[in-house]
Structure 1
Amino acid sequence: MAGGGPVGLMLACELALAGVPVAVLERLTEVDTTIKAGSINTPAAEAFYRRGMLPALAEVQRTAFGKFDSFVRERRDTGASPVRQPARFAGHFAGIMLRGDLLDSSDPDFDGPGPAAEVGLVAQADLERLLQVRAAELGVDLRRGTTLTGFDAAADGVHVHTSDGSLRAGWLVGCDGGRSTVRRLAGFPFPGTAPEITGRQALVELTGGEALGAGWNWTGTGTYAHGPLPGRLLTVEFDGPPADRESPVTAEELEASLRRVSGVPDVRIHKVLTATRFTDNARQVPDYRSGRVLLAGDAAHVHAPFGGQGLNLGIGDALNLGWKLAATVRGWAPEGLLDTYTAERHPLGAWVLDWARAQVALMRPESHARALRGVLAELAGTTAATTFFAKKISGVQQRYDLPGDHPLTGRSAPDLEFSDGTRLADRLRDGQGLLLDLTGDDSVLRRATGYGSRIRLLRADCPGRPGLAGLLVRPDGCTAWAADSPGGPDTGDALTAALRRWFGTPDDGAA
């Protein structure tokens, strides 16, 4: 695997959890501390929760909240305009803040994540550190300081060339970012739209920041954000893509951009702690697989980074691909299983690209965009619009198009709480599928006879969901089958079809 960022490490962990040996080639010798995404959405939080990582993420979030409190105090102590943070933050769209007190929390799409819904403020570098620890615990072969230089793919495997020699692998997955070497060498087409902005994001030491507006600000020359952490800055200028993406971002460059966009002449940047440039280049490969070579994360799709959607999209790619590739390697995958990776993830990627394009359009410093932004800001002050945007941003509305009419089919499995005090997430840590019977009817679990370690069988009581009879949950947490009554032949046939579609033929020929 090429790329040891959060997406590559998450995928490697999923493969290792399934007993598949994996080597990760990462050119950087240490965790990348460059400021990038600052949060994870609900599907990503659910994924980490189901693998036992939620307590560590919650600790990272507590530290982040402490830094936000420091930013608020800093603004107060310098006499700057106060931070106008909603009583409950529900996300933002192009910098338009959503008020959580307007959110319709009774909407059924919000019903299910359990404790995972309380964790979101986790920066990309912190997530990478946690995943590196988990990868080591699972025995992943992480080769830092090693660069992929080429490969030869054949029908039975891939010969990978690196800066440290060559190795033979059954499969190669490119998780190596927006300028992916794997994508380029494999010849994946990468259609999309050209960039029109230069964005810069940084953590700095500065003076004169009290004259800057807190949060997101739109001006006649662009957009800028100040906070929610001390020294955190973001600028967006509509002057085309940066001429240089490789050289370090200097204090002088950041200061000049901030002055141009904010109109504050006396702000001074004395030290750059971490900084990056970005654009709104929006592209996506049509197929995430070419023979024995696959792509995940930014290697498969790139877009403007507003809202951290790229990190979350990549984590979802890794979770979806991990168990399917493991099943293929181990020999029990049903026909076509690996092809469902593109079928399920490509539509979500396409949506994120359009979501990012729409935000860029609203940020443009011209009269039409300003008028539209005003209309949208007014609309965002309603319960219906806040709920709509929050569901999109949080990811709770995500659904794969799977066979079956039950409302849960294709959605992330709800974190059911059982009568013994345990929860569904507790039963998914080993990365197996799960067939859950909530009625005591032997006909449900009997359908999964012969699947062995592919599927864990569980009979339990769930007082909080009296109408639900059973669930089949894939290793990625997606509900593959659900029923409100187990007795009918159609229900049983649907379960059998789902078992075979996702877990193949039982070893003893049953089911």
Structure 2
Amino acid sequence: MTTTDYDVVVAGAGPVGLFLACELRLGGARVLVVERLAEVDETIKAGAINIPSAVALYRRGLLPELAAVWEAALERIRAFRGEGAEDRMPPRFAGHFAGIPMDKTLFDGSDPAWAEAGPAADSGLGVPQAALERILARRAERLGVEVRRGVELTGFDAGADGVAVHTGRGTVRAGWLVGCDGGRSTVRQTAGFDFPGTDPEITGYQAIVELTGGERLREGWNTTDTGTYVHGPFPGRILTVEFDGPPADRTAPITAEELQAALRRVAQVPEVTITKVLSATRFTDNARQAADYRKGRVLLAGDAAHVHSPFGGQGLNLGLGDAMNLGWKLAAVVRGHAPESLLDTYTAERHPLGTWVLDWTRAQIAVMRPDRHARALRRVVTDLALTTTGTTYFVTKISGVWQRYDLPGEHPLTGASAPDLELSDGSRLGDHLHTGRALLLDLADDPGVCARAEGYGDRLEVRTLACPTRPGLGALFVRPDGFVAWAADKAAEAVETKDLPEVLERWLGARADAA
């Protein structure tokens, strides 16, 4: 195409699409988001974010808004749990595995990764998906992202130099198209991405309802002879899982009678009656992942790239991680700073995490089945989980604090999410990532570090500051997504920076003054 209306069109204005659009805009791209729904979808979905998500949003200055939503959620939980609620509040990031709750008193948080996550690790951040979507919509508006609601993507034609995106209100031309349009992604299906995986075997419901007889339901996660159910942690919230195959029609309206029948079967409480449905959704354990997240000018992120059961609350978090990883890379390619080959690192870095999440959810299904073999396995897993080592393992995995990328380099920090260092000017490392630029921190006051970074203009922020809590660390190069791509310790005379120019060029492209 000789001309384009936008650098990137993002299909889908859920949290992943909006977050990606914000990241692209920070990087200088012209972005259009198209969304078939006219308003934010208030259907009950994900209800919490993990540490990588909280840290990513903190690095963009959104932690105060998230914390306010979490405080409101805590009030609802206290109202549901009544007298003595403070003693029974959910532990931060503890969660559950296959409905086996973690005991926060057994958790060993001595791993430095917990402390180095910064303020984001100190918040519970139970954030409903709809609330997060509204926060990101406001941010997109502040950044100047154009969002068109009530506009459905109907198809597209992708060529070597751009994409013609067809919608119910006409065609727009873009350099790139990213599908963030959910598990039934039109973008994925139209482009013909391979989507291998495993078929579903459960029918699950999650809902907010008004009911009578609820005092007979046990609070929290419960396993019975016929499946699993959840009551709480706030008024009217229920969840059921039955292992009798997937629903005949996932898109049919969900009735009070349908929810009531499932709840009575699983909870084995015939007296419970659902009088009104406020919000409800069906789900299965269909687990599939795109073999590659890019086909030419078309890319996928979030549920468009991977689907799985909701157990462990990994789906929203996985999608936000996709957006944080892809946004700055695609913006760099759009602006001509980086070659298209930079986009190859998107699949290379995110696909392994997606594979892990799918297997993590599959393992939970295996432990939740009602057959005798699975119940025997469940007792063994429960025994292991109720040890300090077991609890620490599960909580660490659920929290996502372990996640890192396989990047070239020998330093232990390379490939890890950057520690939120407390710096000598009173700031923290995360404070320097609000703009979405890469960051080079000279912690040793070594002129050689800054000299190596000349010529990158607004792509790179360079700061010379000390870090009293990490006196041996000499310098850090942090990518725009907050991951360390290069680090060096202090040497006797100077920080060793001979490989820094190659690293900067790999992630930021050639210097502006390069021949």
Place the TM-score, normalised by the shorter chain, in its bin: over 0.9
Shift of 1:420: 2.0
Among 495, 506, 509, the alignment partner of 2:511 is 506
* 1:109 lines up with 2:113 in the alignment: yes
Q: Which stretch of structure 1 is more off in the superposition, 327-336 or 390-399?
A: 327-336
Q: Tell me which amino acid in the other structure corresponds to 1:16.
A: R
Q: Tell me which amino acid in the other structure corresponds to 1:113.
A: A
1:35-46 map, 5 Å: 35-46=44-55
Q: Distance in 2 between matches of 1:235 and 1:84?
A: 22
SS at match of 2:499: helix
Number of positions where the alignment pairs a residue of Structure 1 with one of Structure 2: 505
SS at match of 2:205: strand
Residue 413 of structure 2 is matched in structure 1 by: 408
Q: Tell me which amino acid in the other structure corresponds to 1:13.
A: C
1:70-469 map, 5 Å: 70-73=79-82, 90-119=94-123, 120-334=125-339, 336-469=341-474
Residue 470 of structure 1 is matched in structure 2 by: 475
1:290-347 deviation digits (Å, cap 9, x = unpaired): 0000000000000001122000000000000000000000001146211100000000
Q: Distance in 1 between matches of 2:151 and 2:91?
A: 47
Q: Distance in 2 between matches of 1:157 and 1:486?
A: 49
Q: Point out where structure 1 has 5 or more consecutive residues left out of the alignment.
A: 77-81
Q: Tell me which amino acid in the other structure corresponds to 1:440.
A: D
SS at match of 1:337: helix
> Contact 1:89–1:100 (CA<8 Å) still a contact in 2?
no
Shift of 1:86: 6.2
1:57-99 deviation digits (Å, cap 9, x = unpaired): 00000001111101101899xxxxx996566661211111112
> Contact 1:47–1:477 (CA<8 Å) still a contact in 2?
yes
Q: Distance in 2 between matches of 1:335 and 1:181?
A: 24
Shift of 1:371: 1.3
Pair 118,111 (structure 1): closer, same or farther in 2 beyond 3 Å: closer
Q: Distance in 2 between matches of 1:482 and 1:91?
A: 33
> Contact 1:223–1:236 (CA<8 Å) still a contact in 2?
yes
Shift of 1:279: 0.4
Shift of 1:493: 2.2
Shift of 1:500: 1.3
Q: Distance in 2 between matches of 1:89 and 1:50?
A: 19
Q: Tell me which amino acid in the other structure corresponds to 1:155.
A: A
SS at match of 1:402: coil
Q: Distance in 1 between matches of 2:382 and 2:393?
A: 14
Residue 53 of structure 1 is matched in structure 2 by: 62
Shift of 1:497: 2.0
1:212-266 deviation digits (Å, cap 9, x = unpaired): 1110001111100111111100000101111111122111110000000010000
SS at match of 1:56: helix
Q: Tell me which amino acid in the other structure corresponds to 1:251.
A: A
Q: Distance in 2 between matches of 1:18 and 1:303?
A: 31
Residue 12 of structure 1 is matched in structure 2 by: 21
> Contact 2:439–2:461 (CA<8 Å) still a contact in 1?
yes
**TM-score (norm. length: structure 1):** 0.96
1:90-129 deviation digits (Å, cap 9, x = unpaired): 1211111112222211113323111011232111111001
SS at match of 1:269: strand
SS at match of 1:401: coil
SS at match of 1:307: coil
Q: Tell me which amino acid in the other structure corresponds to 1:111.
A: A
> Contact 1:199–1:278 (CA<8 Å) still a contact in 2?
yes
Q: Distance in 2 between matches of 1:55 and 1:207?
A: 37
Q: Tell me which amino acid in the other structure corresponds to 1:37.
A: A
1:472-491 deviation digits (Å, cap 9, x = unpaired): 00000011011112678993
SS at match of 1:469: strand
Pair 171,334 (structure 1): closer, same or farther in 2 beyond 3 Å: closer
Residue 68 of structure 1 is matched in structure 2 by: 77
1:378-411 deviation digits (Å, cap 9, x = unpaired): 1111111111111111111001000012111111
Q: Tell me which amino acid in the other structure corresponds to 1:496.
A: P
Residue 79 of structure 1 is matched in structure 2 by: none
Q: Distance in 1 between matches of 2:92 and 2:14?
A: 31
Shift of 1:422: 0.9
Pair 488,375 (structure 1): closer, same or farther in 2 beyond 3 Å: farther
SS at match of 1:246: coil
Shift of 1:509: 2.6
> Contact 2:113–2:419 (CA<8 Å) still a contact in 1?
no
Q: Tell me which amino acid in the other structure corresponds to 2:218.
A: G
* 1:2 lines up with 2:6 in the alignment: no
> Contact 1:83–1:214 (CA<8 Å) still a contact in 2?
no
1:183-223 deviation digits (Å, cap 9, x = unpaired): 00000011000000000000111111111111000111110
Pair 88,47 (structure 1): closer, same or farther in 2 beyond 3 Å: closer
Q: Distance in 2 between matches of 1:89 and 1:300?
A: 25
> Contact 2:309–2:361 (CA<8 Å) still a contact in 1?
yes
Sequence identity of aligned pairs in percent?
66
Pair 86,289 (structure 1): closer, same or farther in 2 beyond 3 Å: closer
Q: Distance in 2 between matches of 1:376 and 1:243?
A: 32
Q: Tell me which amino acid in the other structure corresponds to 2:513.
A: D
Q: Point out where structure 2 has 5 or more consecutive residues left out of the alignment.
A: 1-9
* 1:24 lines up with 2:33 in the alignment: yes
Q: Distance in 2 between matches of 1:388 and 1:324?
A: 32
Q: Distance in 1 between matches of 2:91 and 2:482?
A: 32
> Contact 1:89–1:99 (CA<8 Å) still a contact in 2?
no
Q: Which stretch of structure 1 is more off in the superposition, 103-112 or 467-476?
A: 103-112
Q: Distance in 1 between matches of 2:488 and 2:314?
A: 32
Q: Tell me which amino acid in the other structure corresponds to 1:114.
A: G
Q: Tell me which amino acid in the other structure corresponds to 2:244.
A: D
Q: Distance in 1 between matches of 2:116 and 2:48?
A: 20
SS at match of 1:427: helix
